[in-house]
Structure 1
């Protein structure tokens, strides 16, 4: 053992220790303001990243042949009756066949937002009856029935007439966009001033 220590000392005879750089103490407020602003903006964007309020949590599933319907207070009975009878032309259509709940959630939200933005009023969403589901329950239909009342743009919805998909589809009535409301005001005001 003594021979090993002596041998080690002989080998290390000309070695000098490395010089270490002095450690730098960072101050708490040493971060540039631009970096702090960028961090804050990124954090705010992360929080506000998903503006979709629709939930894909588990819900009670509906029977495939259940007739879905919903009407907000203030929607005229005649308007709702015409919607149920399929008398309004569908201005846009969304087919959810083959989608997962997460995909359908995203598509339904985007579809309603875009339709409202473009001033569309009557839509149809084809959700299916869930016949491919072995549990004999209409999963997407159940979620659509749960999601649509959560969106303030949706004024009413109901299962479609047989020629448009029956209980495998839903007619949707959207509120008038601000742009359409202003066009109506302008038209009415113009008619009165002539």
Structure 2
């Protein structure tokens, strides 16, 4: 019959020597990234990008109706320029379609769309926000928020509901500020300082 389990374990461990104590921690970094680390890093980057988005959604705002007209013009925008925008006489350089988006999705998309348009020097763009005709109260939720968000951009000079052929009250024309580079090009082209 074998010895007690404790005796068997002691005999097996008799030639084992303890490790020498060390004052240094093992700081060798594991080079392989785990899926969890990757997911946390991506979430942190997304969160940081969302933090840059200053467009508010938590305010209580009175909802617009489907056929309400959006109109906004900052001081300094010439009447003729605003009139051409209102009549859809400028070439639309980019479009954003917000149909079937939630308010939060629309918020992110409008923010990124305006930033991208500014980055590429676009001046006249359009957002298709819809009319809200599908809901019973005929309240245009996304349209209401677009109307609230656009004036929050310093670079948005004016906007107006589109002409019928471009979506009518379900879309909005937007006039963006010229980039500094474009302003300088105009000065050089027209001999101004």
Query: What TM-score, normalized by structure 1, do the two folds share?
Result: 0.72
Q: Following the alignment from structure 2 to structure 1, what is the Cα–Cα distance between the partners of residues 89 and 49?
A: 38
Change (3 A) 1:185 1:145: same
Question: Whose Rg is larger?
Answer: 1
Q: CA RMSD in A?
A: 3.1
The DSSP-based 3-state class of the residue aligned with 2:65 is: coil
Equivalent residue, structure 2, for 1:53: 54
Moved segments of 4+, more than 4 Å? 45-49
Query: What TM-score, normalized by structure 2, do the two folds share?
Result: 0.73
Change (3 A) 1:85 1:46: closer
The DSSP-based 3-state class of the residue aligned with 1:123 is: strand
1:58 is displaced (CA, Å) by 4.3
1:96 is displaced (CA, Å) by 0.3
Equivalent residue, structure 1, for 2:119: 117
Unaligned runs of 5+ in 1: 1-41
Q: Following the alignment from structure 1 to structure 2, what is the Cα–Cα distance between the partners of residues 95 and 49?
A: 21
1:188 is displaced (CA, Å) by 2.8
Q: Following the alignment from structure 1 to structure 2, what is the Cα–Cα distance between the partners of residues 181 and 111?
A: 22
Change (3 A) 1:78 1:53: same
Tell me if structure 2 keeps the 8 A contact 1:59–1:143: no
The count of aligned residue pairs is 171
Q: Following the alignment from structure 1 to structure 2, what is the Cα–Cα distance between the partners of residues 177 and 134?
A: 43
Q: Following the alignment from structure 1 to structure 2, what is the Cα–Cα distance between the partners of residues 176 and 119?
A: 7
1:135 is displaced (CA, Å) by 2.8
1:144 to 143, 146, 158: 146
The DSSP-based 3-state class of the residue aligned with 2:117 is: helix
Q: Following the alignment from structure 1 to structure 2, what is the Cα–Cα distance between the partners of residues 110 and 49?
A: 10
1:97-119 deviations in Å (ceiling 9; x for gaps): 00000000011011111111111
1:49 is displaced (CA, Å) by 4.4
2:108 to 71, 81, 106: 106
1:10-31 deviations in Å (ceiling 9; x for gaps): xxxxxxxxxxxxxxxxxxxxxx
1:47-100 deviations in Å (ceiling 9; x for gaps): 964311101124331011101100000000000011111111101001100000
Q: Following the alignment from structure 2 to structure 1, what is the Cα–Cα distance between the partners of residues 60 and 168?
A: 22
Unaligned runs of 5+ in 2: 1-40
Residues 1-194 of structure 1: pairs in structure 2 closer than 5 A? 49-50=49-50, 51-60=52-61, 61-189=63-191
